[in-house]
Structure 1
Amino acid sequence: MKTEMYFQSNFENHLAAHTAVMEYIESWYNRRRPHLHNGELGSVAALAAHRDIRQTAAA
């Protein structure tokens, strides 16, 4: 996170830093960043693939 977001920003106060960190986590890290346990897919793509597999198995 330090290299991807923190050192690229200047924050006016603690609240601004906190808000930026939470936005980063919710918009990038949790949704799009590839994760090793997901086969290098982002969380949204891995969830979509999982749902497709479950729907195919149920049909």
Structure 2
Amino acid sequence: MDPVRLLLELSPLTGEGVRGEFVAAHLPRARRDGLGNVWAGEGSVLLLAHLDTVLPPK
């Protein structure tokens, strides 16, 4: 997963759904719950990310 592509192409405000789809496309057997959270895999390793866009100060 290229983080530069993720940041440049998928950074519009309220674009969390698009970013979630991008992440899900790069995880094996990914699924989404009713809130839009992306889940993949089994076991004891957890990767957690908050997908909001942060704007620079004016």
> Scaled by the length of structure 2, what TM-score is found?
0.29
Higher relative contact order (CA 8 A, sep 6+): 2
Larger strand share, 1 or 2: 2
Higher radius of gyration, 1 or 2: 1
